[in-house]
Amino acid sequence: MSTAWAIFGVVLSTLVVPLPEELALLGAGWMAHAGNVSLAGAYLACWAAIVLGDSTTYLVGRVFLPRLLRTRIGQKIITPPLRGWGENLVQRHGFRAILLGRFLVGLRGPVYLAIGAARYPAWRFTLINAAIGLLEVALMVGAGYAFGRSQRLASEMRWVEIAIAVAVAALLIFPLVLKRQIERRHAAT
């Protein structure tokens, strides 16, 4: 039981620790395979941490982000036209935005902050995110469980780490490029 609480804490800590949540989910599955916790316990701990962490990010976006964006610094970070475009996008495509955020490792936090700032209904966000989280947790914890059985894959973990690092770097650069493209298009009109 204490291992399940530790898993919950590690997954929840990805809110502030620069660790991809997916690595924590894979690790939880591996720990279940090693016998440190039941597979169901690892799954429930991960899912509960994801729902709590994502809901916290949403609420921070809803309460604090609009105030920050009204400041001079906030308007330099996200220009009012870009903010309007984002809020409009969330209002029209909320489900897709939540789905996209759940599966984009480097963009999840900013996307959920934006969804909160756009005042998307909290109950709808929580319901959709929790449902999508059920699937993602099953896939990632299950993959970690299967990974625990594979000695060959374990010896090749360095390549997996490199691939994850490259993907995270790409996901951190992509939003900056997208922001510039949107600003250029808006300036041209």
Q: For the stretch 16-25, what's the b/e string if a residue is b when 16 or more beta carbons lie within 10 angstroms of its beta carbon?
A: eeeebbbbbb
- Mean pLDDT rounded to a whole number for the chain: 78
Best-predicted range by mean pLDDT (93-97, 157-161, 166-170) = 93-97
Looking at residue 104, what is its pLDDT?
74
Q: In the chain, pLDDT over 70 holds for what percent of residues? A: 79
Judged by average pLDDT, the poorest of 92-101, 108-117, 144-153 is 144-153
**How long a stretch of residues is the chain?**
189
Q: For the range 181-184, what are the long-range contacts, defined as Cβ-Cβ under 8 Å and sequence gap of 24 or more? A: 182/82, 182/85, 183/79, 183/81, 183/82
Task: Give 132-166 pLDDT, tens digit per residue.
Answer: 888 888 888 888 888 777 656 655 655 666 676 67
d(CA 85, CA 30): 42
Mean pLDDT of all residues in 30-46: 83
Q: Are 13 and 157 in contact (CB under 8 A)?
A: no
Reported confidence tier of residue 123, pLDDT bands at 50, 70, 90: very high
Quote the pTM value: 0.69
Quick one: pLDDT band at residue 120, thresholds 50, 70, 90? confident
Contact 66, 117 (CB under 8 A): yes
Q: pLDDT band at residue 1, thresholds of 50, 70 and 90?
A: low
Q: Tell me, what's the pLDDT at 15? A: 63
- In this structure, is the dihedral angle defined by the CA atoms of residues 99, 175, 171 and 13, taken in order, positive or negative? negative
Looking at residue 13, its pLDDT comes to 66
> How many Cα atoms sit within 13 Å of 95 on the Cβ side?
4
pLDDT category at 127 given cuts 50, 70, 90 is very high
Top-confidence residue, 7 or 160: 7
